[in-house]
Amino acid sequence: MTDYDVLIAGAGVAGSATAVALSRLGLRVALADTNVQAGGALNEPLTGDGFENRVFAIRPSIKRFLTDERLWNDIAEERVQCVTRMHIDGEGRERLTLGAHDAGILELASIVESANLRRSICARLDDSVVRLNVEIQAVEQDLDFVTVVTSGGQMSCRLLVAADGANSAVRRQSDISVSERDYKYTGLVANFTVARPHRDAAYQWMGTEGVIAYLPLPGNLVSIVWSASDELAGQLDENTLSEELAKRYDPLGIVDLVSGIGRFPLLRMLPQTVGRGRVVLVGDAAHQFLPLAGQGLNVGLADVAELTALVERHGLEDAGAFSVVNRYRRARKEEVESFTYFTESMHDMAVSRSSFCRAVHGFGFEAVGRTNILKRFLIQKAVG
Ligand SMILES: Cc1cc2nc3c(=O)[nH]c(=O)nc-3n(C[C@H](O)[C@H](O)[C@H](O)COP(=O)(O)OP(=O)(O)OC[C@H]3O[C@@H](n4cnc5c(N)ncnc54)[C@H](O)[C@@H]3O)c2cc1C
């Protein structure tokens, strides 16, 4: 008998959600993380009046999954902002507006702080999940089980879930190679007060100096994500960010910077497979792409939803059975690859200085703007 049915490496949002969803099926689940705080900042109060600069735009299908799994139950709703419209601007006069009403839905996304979401998910992590403060160091697969060597000793499981982030040790240990691209861009995140009401709209600007997104927050606040070249990002700090943003794109009238500035290196990472033997990859361990459409965690939680459904249907006896892992691998391929290449082409097109690319970019905006069917298709793809 193995120590666990499922061992999950990594207690970030993807790993913690997997632990809650699979333990609900009655499986013996363990959740391992090197960081004692991860998946553990449960009762930490949210940051008072200020808003965290790390926020996620959660699409409706993923919010439904979180709600069904009761992972949204403990969300502080007064800190969540809905998005009903998205304006996409370019360097010229083109503007594309996508509204929830274009697709017959109520909202495009809910903006939620990272701590608010983690806290709500962690509130569901009860004693049925064994918490291990260890580092996964080596993985060895057998036909019927996986042996995992950790900093706290050796253990075995039927299914090993790699939710240990973009630099996944489990993925490496399982000999899954990846294709990578370092864009030499940095994602800058920060919160601002603005002069004009956002009216539940998000704004995105795509220009030769990167992509700037304004995500609405409750009240007169917005959270910005600026994907800027490393060189430009290096020049932006507390003293210069407001002015440099306003010079390029300022749809709501920036007033004050009201948070610290977060910086994230932007990479593309696509593994050759998201399932091998008795190991599956979820979340950033399974894919990392540009935050242009704010979909990274959404795709990660879609991995969790798919895995949960497959284990429930085919894996209650053996969670790591071929019928689960093989179906999971095939089911996730399309969405993961399409988001990776879609965000990459959007980025390359936006930052290109070639007049041909700029013309195609402008034409694309216009074509989608004029064609309701294309608009509806784009929105449905984005909201899942
Ligand atoms: C600027 C920016 C903006 C973004 N905006 C959005 C957005 O609006 N919407 C959206 O959906 N996504 C967004 N994303 C993507 C999103 O942030 C990530 O997809 C998400 O945070 C990944 O979560 P995860 O749980 O998969 O990984 P992580 O949060 O990286 O968690 C991995 C965990 O594994 C642990 N770990 C690592 N190694 C080991 C080991 N060897 N053993 C045990 N544990 C280990 C770590 O301690 C950590 O707790 C954005 C990303 C960026 C950079």
Tens digits of per-residue pLDDT, 171-223?
A: 999 999 999 999 999 999 999 999 999 999 999 998 888 899 999 999 999 99
324-370 tens-digit pLDDT: 999 999 999 988 988 888 888 877 777 766 665 556 566 565 655 56
The answer to whether 325 touches 277, Cβ cutoff 8 Å, is yes
Q: How far is the CA of 114 from the centre of ligand 1 (A)?
A: 10
266 HSE (CA, 13 A, CB side): 27
Residue 279 CA to residue 147 CA, distance in Å, equals 11
Strand partners, 215: 223
Contacts of 146 (CB under 8 A, 6+ apart): 7, 139, 140, 156, 157, 158, 159, 160, 277, 278, 279, 320
61 Cβ below 6 A of ligand 1 = no
148 Cβ below 6 A of ligand 1 = no
Q: How far is the CA of 116 from the centre of ligand 1 (A)?
A: 15
CATH of domain 77-114+182-266+352-383: 3.30.9.10
Which residue bears the tokens 């060597």? 149
Q: Which of 18, 56, 66, 151 to mutate to test the pocket of ligand 1 (most atoms within 8 A of CB)?
A: 56
- Minimum-distance ligand 1 atom for the alpha carbon of 16: 25
382 Cβ below 6 A of ligand 1 = no
9 Cβ below 6 A of ligand 1 = yes
The letter for the amino acid at 180 is E
Amino acid 366: pLDDT:
61
Reduce the secondary structure of 39-66 to three states and give it as a string.
CCCCCCCCCCCCCCCCEEEECHHHHHHH
CA angle at 109 for the pair 209 and 226, rounded to the nearest 5°: 15
Question: Does 77-114+182-266+352-383 match 4-40+125-177+272-346 at the fold level?
Answer: no
User: Which of the four CATH numbers 3.50.50.60, 3.40.47.10, 3.40.50.720, 3.90.45.10 does domain 4-40+125-177+272-346 have?
Assistant: 3.50.50.60
- Minimum-distance ligand 1 atom for the alpha carbon of 298: 11
Domain boundaries, the chain: 4-40+125-177+272-346, 77-114+182-266+352-383
Q: How far is the CA of 16 from the centre of ligand 1 (A)?
A: 11
Determine what percent of the chain falls in helix, strand and coil, rounding each to the nearest 5. 35, 30, 35
- pLDDT band for position 75 (cuts 50, 70, 90): very high
Structure tokens at 169: 């040790």
Stated pTM of the model: 0.91
Amino acid 209: pLDDT:
86
DSSP 204-241: EEEETTEEEEEEE-STTEEEEEEEEEHHHHHH--TTTH
Q: In this model, does residue 225 exceed pLDDT 80? A: yes
The answer to whether 283 touches 13, Cβ cutoff 8 Å, is yes
255-308 tens-digit pLDDT: 999 999 999 999 999 999 999 999 999 999 999 998 877 789 999 999 999 999
Q: Which of 20, 33, 83 to mutate to test the pocket of ligand 1 (most atoms within 8 A of CB)?
A: 33
